[in-house]
């Protein structure tokens, strides 16, 4: 089964960031597909409110992928069965997350190299009745090549895509992305997507043009500060400053509505930092008080000069 992409520039899965609202906006801007952040397969199967919220598809027009994490096939299968019902067009298994709470549960990057556990998971993905793929880094340490074997296994299982963040886990975001790793993957097998450190439309187009094996490139952090990047990748006319400000404020507002209070307190300050709105402590302090959440708007106005920022009265933080 094959996922139809609307363009070769895809929104990366980003926990707490690529929410339904952000995905809708990036799709509208020209993203070829948009992924949820990683969702706990076990929580989803139990229909826990947090997992259901993270797996909410929303109104976004275009292909959307539900990304799951699970420690084994038995945990994965019930959640796979829900992806279609939730309205997604594809489902992806996360094999790259290095975060402690995920790895300690034997999920995400902890599964790299655990081939006996992984093989039945890949088969279940391929047989789940909708397009499916995996996303990973190249391995634990710089120079590790686990992704080559994983790519082979993904092909044998019949997965539709293989999405690579071409650097090691220990390299975090410090190590340079190594685009030449893509060339280690043989032709045939799953469709190939890759991304990392693509900061502009020109870089995204160049990465795609420079790697004939790549069907699409994946954009993460650049889409947070510049959701219009997808339009720019497609050479659509530039948005002027006022239109950009309106888009950014609409996106932040949608994201704040998609998160619950605890997530909001955890994520929005980091988001502010990514948008270049320091200092974090200052914002964290303000966000810690629900009644003062309205100040978020003032902070954005002050620091980002977003004249067109809509009122935040419908924001769940204010309720
Ligand atoms: C805040 C944040 C959250 C992320 N969450 C996920 C995730 O849930 N699943 C995943 O596969 N990758 C996740 N990633 C990794 C991105 O999908 C992407 O591979 C990585 O950031 C490199 O792309 P970039 O340099 O364009 O951001 C996350 C990255 C960021 C910055």
If you take atom 5 of ligand 1, which residue's CA is the nearest one? 14
**Contact predicate 239/228, CB 8 Å:** yes
In the prediction, which pLDDT does 258 show?
A: 83
Query: From the CA of 130, how far away is ligand 1's center (Å)?
Result: 23
**Contact predicate 140/168, CB 8 Å:** yes
Q: SS3 for 285?
A: helix
Q: Is 102 in the pocket of ligand 1 (CB under 6 A)?
A: no
Percent of the chain surpassing pLDDT 70: 82
Stretch 5-33: mean pLDDT? 96
- Least confident range from 176-180, 207-211, 286-290: namely 286-290
Per the structure block, which two tokens stand in for 93? 């298994």
Cα–Cα dist 279/254, whole Å: 23
Q: In degrees rounded to 5, what are phi and psi of residue 33? A: -175, 155
In the prediction, which pLDDT does 306 show?
A: 46
Entry pTM: 0.90
> pLDDT of 35-68, one tens digit each?
999 999 999 999 999 999 999 999 999 999 999 9
If you take atom 31 of ligand 1, which residue's CA is the nearest one? 221
Residue 109 CB-half CA count within 13 A? 21
Pick the closest to residue 12 from 126, 97, 127 (CA basis).
97
User: Is the bond leading into 279 cis (omega within 30 degrees of zero)?
Assistant: yes
Query: From the CA of 12, how far away is ligand 1's center (Å)?
Result: 6
In the prediction, which pLDDT does 274 show?
A: 60
C-alpha torsion 301→305→308→310, nearest 10: -20
**Contact predicate 190/155, CB 8 Å:** yes
Cα–Cα dist 269/281, whole Å: 8
Cα–Cα dist 204/225, whole Å: 15
Q: For ligand 1, pick from 10, 11, 12, 218 the residue to mutate: most ligand atoms within 8 Å of CB.
A: 12
Cα–Cα dist 125/45, whole Å: 15
Q: Is 196 in the pocket of ligand 1 (CB under 6 A)?
A: yes
> pLDDT of 257-279, one tens digit each?
787 777 776 777 666 666 655 54
Check whether 218 has a pLDDT greater than 60: yes
Confidence of residue 296 (pLDDT cuts 50, 70, 90): low
Q: Which helix (H) or strand (E) holds 283?
A: helix 280-287
If you take atom 6 of ligand 1, which residue's CA is the nearest one? 14
Q: Is 220 in the pocket of ligand 1 (CB under 6 A)?
A: yes
Query: From the CA of 148, how far away is ligand 1's center (Å)?
Result: 20
Q: In degrees rounded to 5, what are phi and psi of residue 10? A: -110, 145
Q: Which residues lie below 8 Å from residue 87, measured CB to CB, with a gap of 6+? A: 57, 64
Query: From the CA of 135, how far away is ligand 1's center (Å)?
Result: 10
In the prediction, which pLDDT does 310 show?
A: 37
Query: From the CA of 37, how far away is ligand 1's center (Å)?
Result: 8
**Contact predicate 162/151, CB 8 Å:** yes
Locate the ligand 1 atom nearest the alpha carbon of residue 222 and give its number.
26
If you take atom 23 of ligand 1, which residue's CA is the nearest one? 196
Pick the closest to residue 198 from 162, 173, 172 (CA basis).
173
Q: Which residues lie below 8 Å from residue 43, measured CB to CB, with a gap of 6+? A: 50, 51
> pLDDT of 176-202, one tens digit each?
999 999 999 999 999 999 999 998 999
Query: From the CA of 150, how far away is ligand 1's center (Å)?
Result: 19
Class of domain 9-233: alpha beta
In the prediction, which pLDDT does 41 show?
A: 98
**Contact predicate 178/167, CB 8 Å:** yes
**Contact predicate 196/168, CB 8 Å:** no
Check whether 107 has a pLDDT greater than 60: yes
Query: From the CA of 275, how far away is ligand 1's center (Å)?
Result: 16
Query: From the CA of 313, how far away is ligand 1's center (Å)?
Result: 30
Q: Is 108 in the pocket of ligand 1 (CB under 6 A)?
A: no
Locate the ligand 1 atom nearest the alpha carbon of residue 270 and give its number.
1
**Contact predicate 195/173, CB 8 Å:** no
Cα–Cα dist 257/268, whole Å: 11
Cα–Cα dist 106/313, whole Å: 41
If you take atom 14 of ligand 1, which residue's CA is the nearest one? 14
The DSSP call for residue 65 is: E
> pLDDT of 125-175, one tens digit each?
999 999 999 999 999 999 999 999 999 999 999 999 999 999 999 988 889
How is the chain split into domains, by residue range?
A: 9-233, 241-318
Query: From the CA of 217, how far away is ligand 1's center (Å)?
Result: 13
């Amino acid at each position: 089964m094959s996922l139809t992409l609307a363009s070769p520039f895809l929104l990366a899965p980003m926990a707490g960031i690529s929410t339904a609202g952000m995905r809708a906006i990036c799709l509208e801007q020209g993203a070829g597909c948009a992924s949820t952040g990683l969702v706990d397969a076990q929580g989803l199967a139990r229909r826990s409110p947090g997992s259901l919220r993270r797996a909410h598809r929303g109104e976004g027009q275009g292909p959307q992928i539900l990304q799951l994490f699970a420690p084994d096939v038995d945990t994965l299968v019930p959640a796979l069965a829900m992806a279609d019902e939730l309205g997604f067009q594809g489902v992806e298994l996360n094999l790259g997350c290095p975060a402690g709470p995920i790895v300690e549960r034997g999920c995400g990057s902890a599964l790299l190299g655990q081939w006996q556990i992984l093989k039945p998971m890949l088969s279940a993905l391929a047989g789940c009745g909708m397009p499916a793929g995996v996303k990973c880094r190249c391995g634990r340490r710089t120079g590790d090549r686990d992704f080559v074997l994983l790519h082979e296994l993904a092909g044998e299982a019949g997965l539709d895509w293989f999405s690579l963040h071409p650097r090691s886990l220990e390299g975090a975001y410090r190590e340079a992305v190594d685009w030449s790793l893509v060339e280690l993957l043989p032709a045939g097998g799953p469709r190939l997507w890759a991304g990392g450190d693509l900061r502009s439309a020109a870089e995204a187009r160049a990465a795609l043009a420079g790697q004939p094996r790549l069907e699409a490139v994946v954009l993460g952090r650049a889409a947070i500060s510049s959701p219009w990047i997808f339009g720019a990748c497609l050479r659509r006319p530039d948005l002027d400053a006022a239109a950009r400000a309106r888009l950014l404020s609409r996106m932040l507002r949608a994201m704040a509505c998609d998160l619950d209070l605890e997530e909001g307190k955890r994520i929005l300050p980091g988001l502010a930092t990514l948008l270049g709105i320091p200092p974090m402590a200052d914002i964290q302090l303000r966000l810690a008080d629900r009644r003062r959440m309205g100040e978020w708007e003032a902070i954005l106005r002050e620091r980002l000069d977003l004249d067109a920022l809509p009122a935040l009265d419908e924001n769940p933080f204010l309720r």
